[in-house]
């Protein structure tokens, strides 16, 4: 497994990555192997033990998560006529390798899971990694809207900017910090109303093109900060 070790980042970085982020590295390794077997891939090796040191067990686990992700996504498949873990790189996998088009699966490094709200990690980050940026932005700010509604105890019919007003309007909002100076109350109201009106609502009603993954990652982190404020 020496070739795989050469592809891997430092061990702590590896352990912070999601399966879809590690999968391209495993796929590149798999393409170089004349005999590809899931069980053999999981067998401890001196190289992995040296690489992982006291975290070797966790390393084996995340590598197997990446392998299984490749199978689920159709990049690896069982060898026909075998039942003992022999696999091959599929046409889909070979196409990706030939094009070196891992971009949709390597965006995770722009949006580390550490510090992200669990809902954003579970629902938004996979969408972002697939390159569906419009949906990722919508999902992130919809979660802000949902969380405000739940926290304020408002009805499902309370939506959008009107919902933000009921929650954060100065002096009367259900989530307003009435001890804070009124200008700060107004600013918080404007912050949430502006985020929903400018970033969530447009993606609800029309096609919004996002082409820069860095911009989208920043928007998702902005939504994450709003969730912290809630």
Q: Judge residue 216's burial from the number of C-beta atoms within 10 Å of its C-beta, 0-12 exposed, 13-18 middle, 19 or more buried.
A: buried
Per-residue confidence band for 101, with pLDDT thresholds at 50, 70 and 90: low
pLDDT range class, residue 130, cuts 50, 70, 90 = confident
Half-sphere exposure of residue 86, counting CA atoms within 13 Å on the CB side?
8
2-105: CATH topology is Arc Repressor Mutant, subunit A (1.10.10)
**Phi, psi (5° rounding) for residue 195?**
-65, -45
pTM given for the model? 0.59
Burial class (CB in 10 A: 0-12, 13-18, 19+), 186: middle
Q: Are 51 and 5 in contact (CB under 8 A)?
A: yes
Residue 170: per-residue pLDDT: 93
Q: Cα separation of 53 and 51, whole Å?
A: 6
Domain boundaries, the chain: 2-105, 118-229
Query: pLDDT of 191-224, one tens digit each?
Result: 999 999 988 888 777 777 888 888 999 999 999 9
Q: Average per-residue pLDDT in the chain?
A: 88
Pick the residue with more confidence: 101 or 55? 55
Confidence band (pLDDT; 50, 70, 90) for 83?
Answer: confident
Q: Mean pLDDT across the stretch 51-78?
A: 92
Buried b (16+ CB within 10 A) or exposed e, 124-156: bbbbbbeebbbbbbbbbbbbbbebbbeebebee
Contact between 134 and 200 under an 8 Å Cβ cutoff? The reply is: no
Q: State what percent of residues in the chain have pLDDT above 70.
A: 94
Q: Identify the band that residue 150 occupies on the pLDDT scale cut at 50, 70 and 90.
A: very high
Whether the predicted pLDDT of 184 surpasses 60: yes
Q: Please report, rounded to a whole number, the percentage of residues in the chain having pLDDT higher than 90.
A: 54
Assess whether pLDDT exceeds 80 at residue 104: no
For residues 169-191, average pLDDT = 94
Q: Decide if pLDDT at 225 tops 70.
A: yes
The pLDDT assigned to 8 comes to: 86
């Amino acid at each position: 497994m020496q070739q795989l070790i050469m592809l891997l980042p430092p061990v702590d970085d590896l352990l912070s990555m999601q399966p879809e982020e590690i999968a391209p590295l495993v796929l590149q390794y798999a393409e170089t192997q004349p005999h590809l077997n899931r069980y053999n891939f999981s067998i401890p090796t001196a190289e992995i033990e040296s690489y992982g040191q006291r975290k070797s067990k966790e390393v084996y686990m995340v590598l197997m998560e990446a392998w299984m992700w490749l199978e689920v996504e159709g990049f690896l498949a069982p060898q026909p006529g075998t039942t003992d873990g022999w696999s091959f790189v599929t046409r889909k996998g070979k196409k990706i390798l030939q094009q070196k088009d891992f971009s949709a699966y390597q965006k995770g490094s722009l949006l580390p899971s550490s510090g992200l709200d669990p809902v954003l990690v579970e629902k938004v980050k996979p969408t972002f990694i697939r390159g569906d940026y419009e949906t990722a932005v919508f999902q992130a700010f919809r979660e802000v809207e949902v969380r405000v509604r739940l926290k304020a105890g408002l009805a499902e019919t309370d939506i959008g900017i009107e919902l933000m007003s009921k929650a954060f309007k100065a002096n009367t909002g259900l989530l307003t910090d009435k001890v804070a100076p009124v200008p700060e109350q107004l600013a918080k109201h404007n912050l949430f109303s502006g985020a929903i009106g400018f970033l969530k609502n447009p993606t609800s009603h029309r096609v919004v093109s996002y082409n820069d993954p860095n911009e989208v990652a920043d928007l998702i982190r902005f939504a994450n900060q709003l969730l912290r404020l809630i």
